[in-house]
Structure 1
Amino acid sequence: MSSLPALDNFLKLYQLTYLEKLGESPRYYPRGEGSLCIEGEFDPSNYHESNAEISVCWQPVKREEPGSFANVETALGIELGSDIDAFFGEYFSAPLLFNCEWGQGELLQVWNQTDFEYLQQNMIGHLMMKKKLKQAPTWFIGVLGDGDKMLTVDNSDGSVWVEIPGEAPSEKLTNSLNEFIALLTPRVAPPELHIEESMPELDHPGIWNRFKLMWRNLLGK
């Protein structure tokens, strides 16, 4: 078990909840991106825009070699809390939908190694922006609601907060990431097709697209 036992438990419960409610594993739109998470056969080379709406069943997979943010620490000259490796580096998984006392949300996870590297690049951008704004460093773990609320972890003490891009964290939720995850329950819902381009009329864009919208809004200030 990792240093985030609540994540291990939530992933198991997530799979079981979908099996009990829908009779199958959760689904995801891979858009041609292969992953060890995919159940059954999947050939990324057969991907075309015309079949982008084909979803796959998936289950979280424990990584044989855990991912590390040591390269991010070296690049920025910063020491990140150990939970960041445990949260993003232990599994390959699709994003995780949840309900909690603060509403609905989505935890960010990585689909494959390429996704992990993309996440690291975005985390560097986030941390550089925090430094530019002269704000204490945080790192994001997901989104809350349908607006521009990020879920972030205070790098100094590991507490979980609600944060609006460009602003300091505004609402403390829990003292630790493990405590926060332990309060979540899986939310069963159909998969959402990830849209590459930002389209304001979309009610539920993919989680990465929502982050792109946040960064764009921030840079436009």
Structure 2
Amino acid sequence: MEIHRLESLTQFTQRYVALWQQRYGHAPASHELSGLASPCIVENRDECVLWLPQPFLPAATLKQVETAFDIVLRPEGHAFYTQQYAGDMPAQFAGQDLTLLQVWSQQDFIRLQQNLIGHLVTQKARKLSPTLFLATVPAETAVISLCNISGNVLLEQLGSTQRQLLSPSLADFLLVLQPICPD
């Protein structure tokens, strides 16, 4: 299976890193990821880690999710989670605060795949169309997700049919997404 790069993810990540460097003079920092191994780590400081995105090596896909669930996932879904190692990135979309989820390490990738399978199993049990979560939002009962059928990016109320269209595509969503960092 050939997976294409998601150039808009690279561009968003570059904007995110540039914002951190402009505001704080260093790479993005995370307290939550401190102590967890990753190819992204550029420096450990006190109780936080500074990181920069790194290529996802060795190359991978979400094939195990497809196999476990007997589903074909959209190419942009594969690319989103297997293009780079990076920390999760806070952002805003049309005034909505969110945290864009990323893969921190190979071990994190295994956990992510298990969580995606669990998400898809729950959706199937509730007879909902399949989605891949992309970001969390402050409301714990909702996520931003990629519809595996249409390719739309949605604000999805978990366990419900309630879904709000945010963007017609993941690439478009990432292009207008605004990075934020703490004050």
TM-score with structure 1 setting the length? 0.76
- Greater relative contact order: 1 or 2 (C-alpha under 8 angstroms, separation 6 or more)? 2
Larger Rg over CA atoms: 1
Identity of aligned residues (%): 30
Structure 1 counterpart of 2:87, one-letter code:
A
1:162 is aligned to 155
Residue 182 (structure 1) aligns with: 175
Structure 1 stretches lacking a partner, 5+ long:
43-52, 191-221
2:106 to 91, 107, 113: 113
Displacement of 1:185 in angstroms is 1.2
Q: Greater shift after overlay, 116-125 or 135-144? A: 135-144
> Contact between 2:152 and 2:170, CA under 8 Å: does it hold in 1?
yes
* Aligned-partner residue type, residue 16 of structure 1: A
Structure 1 residue runs of 4 or more that deviate by more than 4 Å after TM superposition: none
Match of 1:134 in 2: 127
- The Cα of 1:107 is off from its aligned counterpart by 0.4
Question: Aligned Cα RMSD in Å?
Answer: 1.7
Aligned to 1:10: 12
Q: Is the partner of 2:112 in helix, strand or coil?
A: helix
Could you tell me the TM-score, scaled by structure 2's length?
A: 0.91
- Tell me how far apart the structure 1 counterparts of residues 125 and 59 of structure 2 sit (CA, whole Å): 31
| Post-superposition offset of 1:179 | 0.5
Q: CA deviation at 1:62?
A: 1.2
Q: Contact (CA 8 Å) 2:6, 2:83: kept in 1 or not?
A: no
Higher strand proportion, which one? Answer: 2
- Residue 145 (1) aligns with residue 138 (2): yes
Equivalent position SS for 2:133: strand
How many residues are matched? 179
Deviations 1:58-116 (A, max 9, x none): 11111232221111111111111111111010111110111221421110001100001
Task: Report if aligned partners of 1:161, 1:169 keep a CA contact under 8 Å in 2.
Answer: no
Between the aligned partners of 1:21 and 1:177, the Cα distance in structure 2 is: 27
Whole-angstrom distance in 1 between the partners of 2:117 and 2:14: 30
Unaligned stretches of 5+ residues in structure 2:
none
1:39 has 2:46 as partner: no
